[in-house]
Chains A and B, each alone.
Chain A
Amino acid sequence: MLTYALKRLLTLPLVLLGAALLVFLLMHLAPGDTATALLGEFGQGASAEQLARLREQLGLNDPLLVQYGRFVLEAVQGDLGESLRSGRPVLEEILERFPYTLQLTLVALVLAVVVAIPAGILAARRPGSLWDTLVMGTALLGVSVPSFWLGLMLMLLFSLQLGWLPASGSGSLAHLVLPAVTIAAGSVAFIARMTRASLLEVLSQDFVRTARAKGLPEGRVVMRHALRAALIPVVTSVGLEFGGLLGGAVLTETIFAWPGLGRMTVQAILARDIYLVQGAVLFVTVTFTLVNLLTDLLYVRLNPRIRYD
């Protein structure tokens, strides 16, 4: 298992190199020019000559290969460059925003798992029952509702009408509630459906029948025997969801003015802040890969039949 983990970690540089090349090319192939974006709507008025000078100063006139080489060489040494707009080290910018994303993601996912797995189990226990229909109906709604709309509705109700929770910003536990619930809504739906489907499948298998035949109480059969096997695909999906959300839930962060990584990255893309975008993508790639690895390792704990080495 350790060897497996090490092997996987050794492929990480390759993944990063690929991701770096991809984002570098995308940023340079996308229409638009960094110097113009940097000046923005208040910087109209610079002449062609003045713009050219700015481009030269920013190193944007060098051949693409030179720019890419410089970027990789510096990144290897742990230097992701400086943001073109703020002049601050890219890593510093990212590390300031990442804790917010992590906090929001963790709370949202814990919330989602705590609600979704029991709901899925209950639904699977009595398929076709009123409870099942209710859970699955709500789940369908949760998947379908756009986070943008849900976020605004929650805000109007809990902030404006009831005055219970702050509408936006960060700084206290209360600020976390609405954005976490908004993100969780989508995940709850997804995880509950997954749990239900997986458990239903497992419950029809031979070892469950054997357990029942032994006269074990139904609760024990489900909780001790079936659930463990049923949770494997659920763990994968939670892992993927977690990895994905670590890149920042852009819409939710935007509505609730949450200072996370996703919002920062989108703003950086619009402003053609190339080094910040590259840094952010690399960072997200690393976290995503690591989370995936952890998820895979967790399998082994859940299902001893899986062996990686």
Chain B
Amino acid sequence: MTRKALLLTALLGLATPALAAGTITVATSADAPTLDPNATFNGYSFAVTNQIFETLLRRTDDGIQPGLATSWKALSPTRWRFELRRGVRFQDGTPFNAEAVKYSIERLIDPANKAPGAYVLDVVKDVKVVDADTVEITTRYPFGPLLAHLTHPVTAIVSPTAAKKAGKNFGRSPVGTGPFAFDAWKTGDQVTLVANKNYWNGAPKLDKIVFRTIPETATQVVELRSGAVDLIVNLPPERVKELENNPRIDVAKSLGWGSTYFGFNTQSGPTRLPKVRQALAAAIDRDAIVNQLRGGMAVKASVPVPPTVWGAAKGVASPEYDVAKAKRLLAEAGYKNGFSIDLISTNTGEFPQLAQAIQFQLGQIGVKVNVKLLEYSAFVQEVVKPNHGLYLSSWGTVTLDADYALYALFHSSEIGTNNYALYKNPKVDKLLLQARRSNDSAERQKAYLEVQKQIASDLPLLTLYYPYTSYAKSSRLQGVEVNYSWINMNLSKAFIK
């Protein structure tokens, strides 16, 4: 620095950003509305609450793993017993036990609390304390994905002492069992967490994590390059190349829980005909979309859920790009000269560009696409209507269990909500319900395979790709784990080199 710069720095009292003393700064794109994991469904909240809180179970590539519960078994199709981890304490010193589990789950599903995430566990009928370290959960009907749902961040176990004391303010003074404890919150600016020295799985190596809200990606990148930020999550693909070439920055990508779809209205308009859907699918060059539009930051899809999800089928064929075949199918369906149709999507992320690409590719077989880009909640309102045409959307199978995506997207009872394709097939309905109501993994897996084969043949939607989830960090920061989504950062083993 020049003398002038030094002087200026001194004058303005500028704090030099540094990884000093084990503090790291993580940039997120929006404020966490609250840090009460039971009371929100916001990704920016979960990114922070996942450091403070833990769930009964965890999901890794090896399947469902112990979290705050060490073992579990089904006593009957609707009754599950969980043995809890012993000797664990919340950050406020309250012992973690069966009472805390009962309290947290009931807190989530109690209608009086108006929790948006209550739906994740609304199948729960009763939580019973057997003894201090044992808890039994009874469901209203047999529910195969229960264990997967208990890995969801909304089911985090909170300190009953702290939650009762804070009341509505718990979201500003959260207390859990996780590796980091809440320290301070400057609204709209930053949340600070400090290491939980008594963490049951070993005290974290970092002393402090500062989550800073930086809405603009360009600013996040400047901050990372200048060293004021150490970790950027949810990195858009177009930023990857630029940062990959920086020797002081590491970029990592992994397959997450997401899928991106091009969907059809299966009940009205030209796409009610299977041949038209096949034609449109054959006209889409997914390799080009993955390689050019996504810059290689995605994997071409085959089935509706990515291979990270339990129950994802392997070896199910999906439509190949073949313009000649597309034209032939269209002619056979009676649309030799094509047709005109609306395509709706959201106005954020990759969707505007993706919509243009689809518009162009379908134009090559004579289908004129009118693109309508809407803000997210307006899009949802449009796409659940029975008369829409085509749509682009994405899905996060956040429980990493096939039920979470397949049931919502393809069961006929979900028409009007998540089943945007208005897809109705009694065989699929039966299989999905059967799999949901079973605790037998093998049986469930078999049903999901059947469902995915049927979907590939009926083609209510074309799964375009599974986007990579990516992050960029200072190369001095090591041991960062990001599991399936940026909201699942594990920083408990992270350290500064």
Q: Which residues of chain A have a CB within 8 Å of any CB of chain B? A: 30-48, 50-51, 53-54, 57-58, 83, 85-88, 93, 96-97, 100, 152, 155-156, 159-160, 162-174, 177, 254-257, 259-260, 263-264, 267, 270-272
Contact = CB atoms under 8 A, between A and B. Distances in A.
Contact of A169 (B190, B216, B380, B394): B190
Interface string B32-67: 011010011111001000000000000000000000
A96 B172 CA distance: 14
Contact of B116 (A39, A48, A88): A39
B222 A155 contact: yes
A36 B374 CA distance: 14
What are the 6 tightest A-B residue pairs by CB atom distance, in nearest-first order?
A: A259-B188, A32-B377, A85-B33, A31-B378, A174-B12, A50-B119
Nearest to B393: A44
Given A32-B378, A41-B396, A47 B417 contact: yes
* Of listed B111, B214, B414, residue having the most chain A CB within 10 A: B214
B8 A164 contact: yes
A294 B17 CA distance: 42
Contact of B215 (A160, A173, A174, A263): A263
A23 B395 CA distance: 32
Given A159-B222, A167-B226, A254-B215, A47 B116 contact: no
Given A257-B212, A257-B219, 13 more contacts: A37-B376, A42-B46, A45-B120, A48-B414, A57-B114, A96-B187, A100-B188, A163-B5, A168-B212, A169-B212, A174-B13, A259-B188, A263-B215
A47 B413 contact: yes
Contacts of A34: 377
Interface centre among A39, A83, A152, A260 (most CB of B within 10 A): A39
Contact of A267 (B12, B31, B382, B416): B31
B408 A44 contact: yes
Contacts of B189: 169-171, 257, 259
B484 to A, nearest CB: 12
A122 to B, nearest CB: 28
B113 to A, nearest CB: 9
A39 B348 CA distance: 17
B395 A40 contact: no
A40 B15 contact: no
A47 B188 contact: no
B168 to A, nearest CB: 6
Contacts of B423: none
A58 B15 CA distance: 44
Chain B interface extent, by class: 35 or more
B219 A168 contact: yes
A34 B213 CA distance: 23
Interface string B156-178: 00000000000010011000000
B186 interface: yes
Contacts of A264: 31, 188
B1 to A, nearest CB: 7
Contacts of B117: 39, 43
Given A48-B416, A259-B213, A42 B41 contact: yes
Given A165-B12, A270-B375, A36 B381 contact: yes
Contacts of B380: 32-33, 36
B21 interface: no
A257 B12 CA distance: 19
Interface in B58-104: none
Contacts of B114: 54, 57-58
Contact of A160 (B225, B414, B417): B225
Nearest to A59: B114
A42 B31 contact: no
B418 interface: yes
Given A31-B374, A87-B39, A174-B13, A164 B5 contact: yes
Contact of A50 (B42, B122, B218): B122
A173 B188 contact: no
B229 to A, nearest CB: 9
Contacts of A85: 33-34, 40, 42
B188 A96 contact: yes
B215 A162 contact: no
Interface of B: 1, 5, 8-9, 12-15, 17, 30-31, 33-34, 36, 39-43, 46, 111, 114, 116-120, 122, 168, 171-172, 186-190, 212-216, 218-219, 222-223, 225-226, 228, 374-378, 380-382, 394-396, 398, 404, 408, 413-414, 416-418, 487
Contacts of B118: 50, 54
Contacts of A35: 116
A281 to B, nearest CB: 18
Q: By CB atoms of chain A within 10 A, which of B117, B380, B413 has the most? A: B380
Contacts of A163: 1, 5, 226
Contacts of B34: 85-88
Contacts of B46: 42
B398 A42 contact: yes
25 contacts: A30-B378, A36-B376, A38-B41, A40-B376, A42-B42, A43-B41, A47-B408, A54-B118, A58-B114, A86-B33, A87-B168, A88-B171, A152-B219, A155-B219, A164-B8, A166-B228, A168-B222, A174-B12, A177-B12, A259-B188, A259-B189, A259-B213, A263-B188, A264-B188, A271-B33
Contact of A173 (B12, B41, B43, B218): B12
Nearest to B31: A267
A152 B218 contact: yes
A172 B188 contact: no
Contacts of B398: 42, 45
Contacts of B120: 45
Contacts of B414: 47-48
Contact of B417 (A48, A100, A177, A270): A48
A260 B417 contact: no
Given A35-B116, A36-B381, A160 B226 contact: yes
Given A85-B33, A85-B34, A44 B381 contact: no
Contacts of B122: 50
A22 B487 CA distance: 37
Contacts of A31: 374-375, 377-378, 381-382
Contacts of B9: 164
Nearest to A256: B219
Given A31-B382, A85-B42, A259-B188, A44 B396 contact: yes
A87 B169 CA distance: 8
B279 to A, nearest CB: 28
A32 to B, nearest CB: 3
B222 A165 contact: no
Given A85-B42, A167-B228, A172-B15, A47 B395 contact: no
A38 B119 CA distance: 13
A165 B15 CA distance: 10
Contacts of B223: 167-168
B167 to A, nearest CB: 10
Contacts of B404: 45
B458 to A, nearest CB: 21
A169 B15 CA distance: 12
B377 A33 contact: yes
